[in-house]
Amino acid sequence: MQAAVGFSVSVSVSVCCNSKCSINASSPHPPLFIPIPSNFNSAFSKPLIIHTHSPKSNSYVVRAQNNHHQDNDDGFYMRKSVELARKGLGYTSPNPLVGCVIVKHGNIVGQGFHPKPGQPHAEVFALRDAGDLSENATAYVSLEPCNHFGRTPPCTEALIKAKIKKVVIGMVDPNPIVASKGVDRLRDAGIEVVVGVEEELCKSLNEAYIHHMLTGKPLLTLRYSLSVNGNLLDSLGNGVTDSGGYYSRLLQEYDAVILSSSLFRENLSANPVPTSKEPGANQPIRIIMHKDSGSSNPIPLVINEVTDKAIIFTNCRTATTPEEAQQGIEIVSMDQINLDVILDYCNRQGLCSVLLDVRGNFSEYEDLVKEGIKKKYINKFVTEVLPVWNGCTKNDPLLPLKNLDQGVKVENLRPMASAQSVVIEGYLNFE
C-alpha cells in the first residue's frame, strides 16, 4: 500500500526554475551516446559514401567523397542535423533537441541547433547563418518545424519567408499542438516537404522528449552494476566516470539522477557527488533519497557541494539541520518515498529524463525499483558488467527482485562501448 503522499516542503530555495539553466555556448561537441554505425562519426568530418559491393561476403566498401554533396543526399544532411542537435544535449528540456542545415547546390550554407528553452529554434539560427542564400535552398530539420506561437514565432513562417524551396524532416513532432501542422503549413505555402529521413536516428535522439510528450511522464532509466557471476555491485568500472566514459555521458544526457544518501555516507571520499565530466556538460539535478530507519541518520553534508542542483526526499520529518537550511537545499518530507512523488516533482520542473542510479545500499532502492516495475514506470535499463567474480554474500540484495512474479519483455538490447567493462542497454516492454 502506498502511504499517504501528504508531503511538506520544509526548506525550499534555490533549485532553479527550469533546472538546467545555464549554457556554455562555446562547449565542444559532446561525444555521441546512442549506439550508431561505426562509420557514422567519420561521415561528418570526412564525407563518405558506403556501398555494399560484395553482398556475398557482406563486406562494406567505404569510398571517400569530396566535400560536394548532391542535394538529394538526404541521409547525409539529416545526420549532420542530428549531430548539430546534440550540441544542446542536457540543456533543452522540456524542449526537444533539434538541428538544422541549409543546403544549396550541394553545399551547406547555414546551420543551427536549439540551445535551450527561450532561445530561438534550430531553423532560425540556420536561416540567419545562411542569409540570402536560403532562397531556393533545401532545409534539413531533425524534427518537424513548429507552426505555433510559443516563446518564439513559428519556424514554418521563418522558412516560408526565407523562400526555402524544399524542407526535409526527420520525424513528425509528437507534440499534439505541432503534429503534422508544420508539414501542412509548409505544403500549403508551395514548399516541397519530405518526411521520415533517418527517422529512427531522429527518434532515438529525442526518446526522452517523445516519451514525455506521449505519456506525460519523464523517461525513467534504471542503472546498476553486476559482477560476471550475477551479483549486484556497488561500484563502477575503471574510466567510466571520466570524460567519454558511459557513466559521465549518462549524467550529461539525463535531466535528473536519483541517488541514495547512503552512497555518500558510506564512503565520502570514494563517492563524490556524481558529476558528468563531459566538456561543458549541464549537470543533472541530483534527487537524493534519505531514508531514516529510526536511528540517528543525518543527511550527509557532502550534498552541500551541489546545493543548486540537489533536492532531498526524506521520510524523516526532523532531518533538516540548520546547515541545510542555510545552504538552501530543497528538502521534501513525506511518509514514504515513492516514484509517484519523485516523477511528479520532475514533471513540474520540466525534466524529461530521470536516471535511477543504483549505487550505495540497494535496500534503499528496493521499494522504488519494485514500484517502477509494478507501475510500469521503468522504461529502460543500463547494466554495467564489471570484470569481477565475487564470493557469495549472506543475503542476495537482488533476491526481492528476482522473486517478483512479474516478468517483463526486454527489447532492443544493445551493447555500448566501455573501456574495461561491458555495458548493455535495453528497453522494458510491459505490454
Q: Nearer to Zn ion by C-beta: 169 or 346?
A: 169
- Least distance from Zn ion to the Cβ atom of residue 145, Å: 5
What residues contact residue 129 under an 8 Å CB cut-off, 6+ apart? 102, 109, 110, 111, 112
User: 329 vs 10, 65, 306, CA distance in Å?
Assistant: 10, 55, 9
According to the binding rule CB under 5 A, does residue 155 interact with Zn ion? yes
- Least distance from Zn ion to the Cβ atom of residue 116, Å: 14
According to the binding rule CB under 5 A, does residue 85 interact with Zn ion? no
- Least distance from Zn ion to the Cβ atom of residue 121, Å: 3
Identity of the residue numbered 294: G
Q: Which stretch binds Zn ion (CB under 5 A): 59-67, 101-109, 152-160, 204-212?
A: 152-160
Site string for Zn ion, 362-381 (x = CB under 5 A): --------------------
Q: Nearer to Zn ion by C-beta: 123 or 255?
A: 123
Determine whether 83 is an active site residue: no
What residues contact residue 204 under an 8 Å CB cut-off, 6+ apart? 34
- Least distance from Zn ion to the Cβ atom of residue 299, Å: 42
Identity of the residue numbered 411: E
- Least distance from Zn ion to the Cβ atom of residue 155, Å: 3
Task: Out of 123, 144, 324, 384, pick the active-site residue.
Answer: 123
Q: Nearer to Zn ion by C-beta: 82 or 423?
A: 82
Q: Which stretch binds Zn ion (CB under 5 A): 142-150, 229-237, 328-336, 388-396?
A: 142-150
First and final CA of the chain: distance in angstroms? 23
Q: How many binding residues for Zn ion (CB under 5 A)?
A: 3
Q: Nearer to Zn ion by C-beta: 125 or 365?
A: 125
According to the binding rule CB under 5 A, does residue 178 interact with Zn ion? no
Measured in residues, the chain has a length of 431
List the interface residues with Zn ion, window 257-286 (CB under 5 A): none
Cell of 246: 558511459
Which residue shows C-alpha cell 543548486? 308
Helices (H), 167-321: 181-188, 199-205, 207-215, 246-253, 262-266
Q: Nearer to Zn ion by C-beta: 26 or 149?
A: 149
According to the binding rule CB under 5 A, does residue 146 interact with Zn ion? yes
What residues contact residue 405 under an 8 Å CB cut-off, 6+ apart? none
Q: Nearer to Zn ion by C-beta: 113 or 381?
A: 113
Cβ atoms of 208 and 352 within 8 Å: the answer is yes
Nearest residue to 362 via CA among 421, 420, 289: 289
Cβ atoms of 252 and 23 within 8 Å: the answer is no
- Least distance from Zn ion to the Cβ atom of residue 85, Å: 13
Q: Nearer to Zn ion by C-beta: 88 or 245?
A: 88
Site string for Zn ion, 91-130 (x = CB under 5 A): ------------------------------x---------
User: 413 vs 108, 221, 425, CA distance in Å?
Assistant: 36, 14, 6
- Least distance from Zn ion to the Cβ atom of residue 154, Å: 6
Task: Give the full edge-to-edge strand order of the sheet including 99-104.
Answer: 107-113, 99-104, 138-141, 166-169, 192-195
List the interface residues with Zn ion, window 10-49 (CB under 5 A): none
Kindly give the pairing relationship between strand 353-357 and strand 422-429.
Answer: unpaired
Which positions are catalytic? 123
**What residues line the site for Zn ion (CB under 5 A)?**
121, 146, 155
